[in-house]
Amino acid sequence: MAPRNPYPTVDVVVEVEGGIVLIERSNEPKGWALPGGFVDYGELVEDGARREVMEETGLSVELTDLLGVYSAPDRDPRQHNLSVTYIGRAEGQPEGADDAARAEVFALDALPDVLCFDHAQILADYRRFKESGAIPKPASDPR
């Protein structure tokens, strides 16, 4: 029997003039999300983050901080994915491409009501980081 492991993914909170970049997903689960996706075999996680942002938004991103690792088994309804989540900066206007139907800039106080996956939690952690400089603490052991 083949081992069952979580799939590694990346997400990036991309800061641009006027706010942060979100993509509207064209695949299930549909809705608004941070740019990101699966890390390719043999790829550095950081390279995967830059590649996914470029593929989905057309923006070249400079990664500035590691926000955290999000690994709740139910964070993605498709399967157990874990996300290495970065903060990065980019210049320009994003344009949806690849599996992003659209890419838009949102002010932190004007985010869409519903975000995919656990991206509302990630953005709450990002907001705290911007206000206090504190990165998220590891989750408590629920057992």
Q: What is the pLDDT at residue 143?
A: 43
CA distance 53 to 57: 6
Asked if residue 99 belongs to a domain, the reply is: yes
CA distance 58 to 14: 12
Query: How many beta carbons lie within 10 A of that of residue 42, not counting itself?
Result: 6
Q: What is the domain extent for residue 34?
A: 7-132
Asked if residue 109 belongs to a domain, the reply is: yes
pTM for the structure as a whole: 0.93
pLDDT in tens, 51-77: 999 999 999 999 999 999 999 999 999
Domain count, the chain: 1
**Which residue do the tokens 């993509």 mark?**
23
As a whole number, mean pLDDT of residues 113-133 equals 95
Question: What CATH code is carried by the domain that includes residue 78?
Answer: 3.90.79.10
- The DSSP H or E segment spanning 45 is helix 45-57
Asked if residue 32 belongs to a domain, the reply is: yes
Asked if residue 115 belongs to a domain, the reply is: yes
Asked if residue 138 belongs to a domain, the reply is: no
> Helix or strand or coil: residue 28?
coil
Cα–Cα distances in angstroms (integers) from residue 99 to residues 33, 70, 72, 82, 134, in the given order: 12, 22, 24, 19, 32
